[in-house]
Amino acid sequence: MGFENLAFMNHQDKLLQLLRSSDETNVELALKMAQGMPEISLDNILQDYLELYQCLVSKRLKKQIKAKHIVILNQEKIQASRCKIATLPNSLGNLPNVQALDLSHNQIAQLPQSFWNLPTLQSLHLGGNNFSHLPEDLGKLKKLQKLHLGLNSLSSLPASLGDLTQLESLHLDVNTLTHLPDSIGNLQMLKELYLYDNQLTILPKGLGNLSQLQILHLNNNQLTQLPENFGELQNLKKLHLFNNALTKLPKGFGNLQHLQMLYLERNRLTQLPQEIGNLSQLNFLAINDNQLTALPESIGNLSHLQVLYLHSNQLTALPESLSKLQHLRDLHLTNNQLSKLPENIDKLQSLQTLRIRNNNFTALPENLKHLQNLRNLYLRGNPLPFSEIEKVKSLLPNCKIDV
């Protein structure tokens, strides 16, 4: 290659570098330079920018695009949510610097082929559109860290999803997914996974490989069981499983020792494994609206538990170990078949709210008076005689009692 050609290429590269700058002064300089370089197809470049501006920013710009318009498209973040976009131009793949692209809440059903060539994209929001499928090209977005595909009509996902190995946050909620690709287990950096409001009946074994996962939302699906290796998600902190059809929890469930919040309500659980007592960091546990007839003694090992929802089960008795929950603030036992509280109920010194409506209580223990922080006691729907209610009121003068 001759020196003249090399110099020309250097000038051309410099011009394009300035034209793609996020600084308006540099873009203006590039436009002036281009006027003296007829060999550069500036008209085509500007036409691409005009199409992108009309699509992503404003349709009001009809003819001449200027530096101040171009610089908006040269930013690292582009926000084009709720712009009534149905079709994207092929020039979308020419966005030079975009790292975060928000195309949410439009009417987009497919992406142009050039889109998969965006080399710098790290965050992509496509939620609230009309996607029914995605191509295998999805796996080309290697630098992607955040992907939001919620509120679409996706019934399946491409296997190439597993190629997005830098992904940390993945939203797939409110679709029609019935299964997940096995390759999802390759997302070793994933910390957040949202899958609620789908039609999942089974989870792939590979899900247990997501060792960095901290937040998992699986509520409002049709799951009847969890993979046996589910307990390998040892960094999990928040787990939402409510509104499924689970009948039991896997034995390894007790290995989720970083779990802080667990939502299991509205399933078909008849018992809890003893291993649930190993969840030593748990502070919120909701198991209401199941079919539990008893609780394991190990529940008393949940030393950090602050909120326990057990209402609407079939419990006839409570384990004495329940009184070991020194940090428990809210205990919800409504709609069971209980007639007796644990003998050492008075050890729950942090308890502020106790709900025992619609049970079979005919009497309550006098040691309730030692619950100095109790502020709300719900008794309605029990066969308590008037004298017993008056006794409880005298024992707890600072407590609001609902009868």
DSSP 67-79: HHHHHHHTSSEEE
Q: At CA 323, angle to CA 317 and CA 325, rounded to 5?
A: 120
Radius of gyration of the chain (CA): 30
One DSSP character per residue, 183-223 reads: GGGG-TT--EEE--SS------GGGGG-TT--EEE--SS--
With 60 as the cut, is the pLDDT of residue 111 above it?
yes
Question: What per-residue confidence (pLDDT) applies to 63?
Answer: 80
Annotated domain spans of the chain: 1-74
Phi/psi of residue 173, nearest 5 degrees: -70, 155
Closest listed residue to residue 216, CA positions, set 208, 181, 149: 208
pTM of the predicted structure, to 2 decimals: 0.94
Go through 151-180 and write b for each residue having 16 or more CB atoms within 10 A of its CB, e for each that does not.
bbebeebbebbbbbebbbbbbbbbbebeeb
Phi/psi of residue 28, nearest 5 degrees: -60, -40
Identify the H or E element spanning 263.
Answer: strand 261-263
Contact 365, 387 (CB under 8 A): no
> In the structure, what pLDDT confidence band is assigned to residue 3 with cuts at 50, 70 and 90?
very low
Query: 3-state DSSP call for residue 136?
Result: helix
Overall average pLDDT of the 20-38 stretch: 90
Overall average pLDDT of the 77-84 stretch: 97
Question: What per-residue confidence (pLDDT) applies to 12?
Answer: 80
Overall average pLDDT of the 342-366 stretch: 97
pLDDT digits (tens, 9 = 90+) for 201-251: 999 999 999 999 999 999 999 999 999 999 999 999 999 999 999 999 998
pLDDT digits (tens, 9 = 90+) for 298-312: 999 999 999 999 999
Question: What per-residue confidence (pLDDT) applies to 6?
Answer: 31
Contact 14, 34 (CB under 8 A): no
Overall average pLDDT of the 317-324 stretch: 97
CA 382 to chain centre: 39
AA identity, residue 343:
E
